[in-house]
Amino acid sequence: MIDIHCHILPGVDDGAADTAESLEMARMAASDGIQTLVASPHSLNGVYENNVEQIRNNVAQLQGEINREGLPLTLCTGSDAHICAGMMAQVRDGRAATINDTGVYLLVEFPSQSTPPGFRDELFELRLNGITPIITHPERHPVLRNDPELIMELSNAGCLHQVTALSVTGGFGRDAMESAHYLIRCRLAHFIATDAHSPDNRPPILSQAVEVAAKILGNTAEAEAMVLERPQAVLEGKPISCPEPILPPKKKWWQIF
């Protein structure tokens, strides 16, 4: 499996505190069947400023430690980039890393409680410059999860969406779980990723969520595509084939259950 969103780099944000914790996360990921992991520290949020060169260096250092441990895990560069004014210019200046340095896909995180003014323009500019935004954990965002029509709008505008494995399995509570299940059922969740921050409370485990998604979809292959074929295309900077979304009209997620 491929995990496109993980805060495994030591000491750079609110993820792994040190190399020992990073290696414990790496061991957990490898044991779960994750073979490739995108190290995606927070960027552009005014708190953590991780530029491309720093991320590359940190990935190389941690990969060396992983290799010395003999773990079958490959790290790739990335950022969990906070949506902000002038986002494209900041990406161009190397202040946030696209996934695997291809310049094609970028993880984009909304502020925790709001959708900022002008966010559509920022996403549109990324698209104009050949970058596909992957919106991270919409099921955990209070505005997005209560407005599936907005998620559909963003999908129609060329954005993709990533739900968190722990949301799918219920670890972020009922609201996030039901929203994640709804997005999966409606084919508006294109990826499952761990968004792991530690070995304990937010571990790098994907397999359990894939099992749940397979039950929701009634199709194991479609669930596995969310952690295999589509992430592989992202790493290679290639186009992704996704099923058409089937959002029921004029209904919120809580009306479906």
Q: Which residues pair with 133 in a beta bridge?
A: 106
For the chain, the average pLDDT equals 95
d(C-alpha 171, C-alpha 201), whole Å: 9
pLDDT band for 113, please (50, 70, 90 cuts): confident
Of the listed ranges 82-96, 143-157, 238-252, the least confidently predicted one is 238-252
**H or E stretch covering 168:** helix 165-168
Question: Residue 160 carries which DSSP code?
Answer: E
For 136-145, what is the mean pLDDT? 96
How many beta carbons lie within 10 A of that of residue 171, not counting itself? 17
pLDDT tens for each residue of 10-68: 999 999 999 999 999 999 999 999 999 999 999 998 899 899 999 999 999 999 999 99
- pTM, entire model: 0.95
pLDDT tens for each residue of 167-224: 999 999 999 999 999 999 999 999 999 999 999 989 999 999 999 999 999 999 999 9
Q: For the chain, list the domains and their CATH numbers.
A: 2-255 (3.20.20.140)
Please name which of 201, 210, 228 lies closest in space to residue 25, comparing C-alpha atoms. 201
